[in-house]
Amino acid sequence: MAGKQPTNGNQPVTTSDASNPHYVGDFGDERLAEVGADLLRALEEKRTVVVKRLGGTRAEEIRYGRFLKNENVTHQEILDVEGRRVGRRVKGRDVLAIQDTTEMRPARPANVHLLTRASQNRCLANGDYLFETMKKKPVVCRYMIDIPQKIKRKARQAKVALRYGVVELRRPTTSRKTCDVPTVRLTAVFCRRNQSAARRGSRAVDVAYNP
């Protein structure tokens, strides 16, 4: 594969150079390792996922395209390399992983904590529902937040009330094949605007934190 040679300082990337911050895998071929490192560097510098923009030139666009279509370039190898890299960096530290999904993934290292948005009113193990349960929790504090401007809505401030408590979510019936635990115990944080704002149709901010 033709193209410029990526460098780590002044040294080219090789299959043994896994310490290079742009190394994503060797895929059984040093040339693929070189293209992968260049592609990651371009992603960081240009902040786009459009291959044409990442390449800058027609030759580089073709080079990246061939890399992405190569059957030896696998998602799993890239994930394994990045997983080991992240593992070295977070060793001995507490990690807060933030995701915008409601999929339950209870298996993870003890030092990794999950913060995720509760977009659905989930059923609890005792038969109650998450939002109704959290509304009954005592208010811990009230404070002001800044709401950014959107189309047809000016930037403004709003007062919110914060509640939290331990709950146990029941596994959704649609997740029985992908989740092998019937319930997940977690700490839910419920942040809601004041009642007058709620009556005007503004939405609550609901977050579930799994320690």
DSSP state of 74: -
Instruction: In whole angstroms, give the CA distance from residue 35 to residue 13.
Output: 9
Q: Which CATH number fits domain 95-210: 3.40.50.970, 2.40.50.100, 3.90.550.10, 3.90.350.10?
A: 3.90.350.10
Which residue from 140, 186, 191 is spatially nearest to 166, judged by alpha carbons?
A: 186
Q: What percent of the chain has pLDDT over 70?
A: 78
User: Residue 149 has what pLDDT?
Assistant: 86
Residue 69 has pLDDT above 90, yes or no: yes
User: Residue 98 has what pLDDT?
Assistant: 81
User: Residue 165 has what pLDDT?
Assistant: 93
Residue 8 has pLDDT above 70, yes or no: no
Instruction: In whole angstroms, give the CA distance from residue 185 to residue 166.
Output: 7
Instruction: In whole angstroms, give the CA distance from residue 46 to residue 170.
Output: 43
Side-chain-facing half-sphere of 103: CA atoms under 13 Å: 9
Q: Are 145 and 156 in contact (CB under 8 A)?
A: no
| 85 band by pLDDT with thresholds 50, 70 and 90 | confident
Residue 31: how many CB atoms within 10 A of its CB? 15
Taking residues 62-74, what's their average pLDDT? 95
Domain layout of the chain by residue ranges: 7-90, 95-210
pLDDT tens figures, 100-143: 665 555 567 778 888 888 878 889 999 999 999 999 999 999 99
132 phi and psi angles, rounded to 5 deg: -65, -40
Residue 181 has which token pair? 């635990």
